Amino acid sequence: MERLNVCVIGYGTVGKSVVEILEGFNDIDVKYIVIKDQKNKCKKNMTIDYEKVINDESVKVVLEMINGDAYDYIVKALKAKKSVISSNKLTICKHLKEYTFLAKKNKVSLLFDASVCGGIPIISNIYKYKRIDPINSLYGIMNGTCNFILDLMNNFDFDFEKALEKAKLLGYAEKDPSSDIMGLDVLRKIIIASEVAYDVSIKSNEVFFYGINNIKKAYLDFLKEHGYTLKLLGYSSYKKASLTIHVMPTALKNSNVMSHVNSNLNMISLNTNSIGDLSMIGQGAGGLATANQMINDLLDFKENKVFEIPDFQEVKLDNLEVATYYIFNNLELFENVKFKVENNVLQTKKITIKQLEEYAKKAKNLFFARIEE
């Protein structure tokens, strides 16, 4: 049985879980674990010398799981004709088009299913279903930290600060949770998934995103009284070469299955003409869930089940999609688009994303909820 030599970059929560799982495989050998500081060396195969890995022709795959932009690691690996598997949404979101070009040029594979919602195989399923039918839209709960916080506030009478502290205590939120609660984490995930779904290249600075950092429990109570549950959703749709994409707090009707996805779970739905809506639910983060998806990508590579990477085309973003919103503060700012006001909550007329973005730039501590049609 031919053994597959791999290198692991990053020995944090996910990296440790990957190494532990691979120890149970007789035909896969973790030849190197790349770390930043020699003082942290606790295994014989650990090294700070990445060039040694790059020059070792026996290493066929690099599994990258660091915090931060792994650009140099990934580019060097691809140029050295080593396949790359990554869970790093920051670097994949930022450089996917370049990584794709290098992978094709050097006839190696690039796999990154674990970069979007951890253990949920959304990327591989996008590849599968778009073979038959174009994907029309993607949307879902893509951040377990925010979903956990909203669950505590909706169902267990927590305020935002108390819910955030609980999330930190259980390891669902980082010490600095800003990328989660401000929507940046979801932005990166919906961009990656959308690029694969529609074969397009998306500039993150052109996408409107908004988080839950200005939320109050009274806002959720108002929505509950009106038959809605708040979720932070990433959304994209692609029609006639025009892309709509955004991240927003969204008031879902309680009849929507997604409104009942609680705790730190994620749920993603994709839509095609043939199957309608297909939904996947599961752990969107955490060491074991993300590590399992990394290993699944590795096994797909080993078994030659890798999907062909698409060519990403430039795309026009359409921010003229219209919707109705609940505005919970800064009501005076939205006077021109007011439909009605109830209990100090303003419901807008249908306005475009572009209009909403312009208002959001002017407002301080604004909180709104897009109303599900």
Whether residues 251 and 367 fall in one domain: yes
Whether residues 52 and 136 fall in one domain: no
Whether residues 93 and 138 fall in one domain: no
Distance in angstroms (rounded) separating the CA atoms of residues 336 and 122: 40
Count of beta carbons in the 10 Å neighbourhood of residue 125? 15
Name 236's Cβ contacts closer than 8 Å, sequence gap at least 6: 137, 138, 139, 190, 193, 194, 197, 198, 243, 244, 245, 246
Whole-structure pTM value: 0.96
Out of 50, 78, 111, pick the residue that ends a domain.
Answer: 111
Whether residues 177 and 276 fall in one domain: yes
The b-or-e profile of 333-371 (16+ CB within 10 A means b, else e) is bbeebeeeeeeebbbbeebebebbeebeeebeebbbbbb
287 domain residue, yes or no? no
Whether residues 277 and 329 fall in one domain: yes
- Output the CA–CA distances (angstroms, integers) from residue 17 to 10, 82, 294, 300, in the order listed: 11, 22, 10, 19
296 domain residue, yes or no? no
**Residue count (the chain):** 373
119 domain residue, yes or no? no
307 domain residue, yes or no? no
72 domain residue, yes or no? yes
Residue with tokens 């049985």: 1
CATH number at residue 64: 3.40.50.720
Whether residues 249 and 345 fall in one domain: yes
- Output the CA–CA distances (angstroms, integers) from residue 144 to 92, 164, 256, in the order listed: 20, 12, 18
Residues 197, 314, 100, CA angle at the centre, nearest 5°? 65
Whether residues 29 and 70 fall in one domain: yes
Domain total for the chain? 2
Name 153's Cβ contacts closer than 8 Å, sequence gap at least 6: 159, 160, 163, 215, 217, 220
Distance in angstroms (rounded) separating the CA atoms of residues 223 and 347: 12
The token duo for 134 is 């174009």
Give the pLDDT of the chain (373 residues) as one tens digit per residue.
579 999 999 999 999 999 999 999 999 999 999 998 887 788 889 999 999 999 999 999 999 999 999 999 999 999 999 999 999 999 999 999 999 999 999 999 999 999 999 889 999 999 999 999 999 999 999 999 999 999 999 999 999 999 999 999 998 888 999 999 999 999 999 999 999 999 999 999 999 999 999 999 999 999 999 999 999 999 999 998 899 999 999 999 999 999 999 999 999 999 999 999 999 999 887 889 999 999 999 999 999 999 988 889 989 899 889 999 999 999 999 999 999 999 999 999 999 999 999 999 999 899 999 999 8
Distance in angstroms (rounded) separating the CA atoms of residues 292 and 65: 13
94 domain residue, yes or no? yes
Whether residues 70 and 152 fall in one domain: no
Handedness of CA 44, 49, 50, 53 (dihedral sign): negative
Name 306's Cβ contacts closer than 8 Å, sequence gap at least 6: 109, 111, 300
Closest CA to 103 of 125, 85, 126, 128: 85
Whether residues 196 and 229 fall in one domain: yes
Whether residues 182 and 326 fall in one domain: yes
Out of 60, 81, 111, pick the residue that ends a domain.
Answer: 111
The whole domain housing 341 covers: 132-282+313-371
H or E segment to which residue 105 belongs: helix 89-105
Out of 111, 140, 173, pick the residue that ends a domain.
Answer: 111
DSSP for 129-189 reads: HTTTS-EEEEEEE--HHHHHHHHHHHHS---HHHHHHHHHHTTSS-SS-HHHHTTHHHHHH
Whether residues 14 and 154 fall in one domain: no
331 domain residue, yes or no? yes
Whether residues 104 and 150 fall in one domain: no
57 domain residue, yes or no? yes
CATH number at residue 352: 3.30.360.10
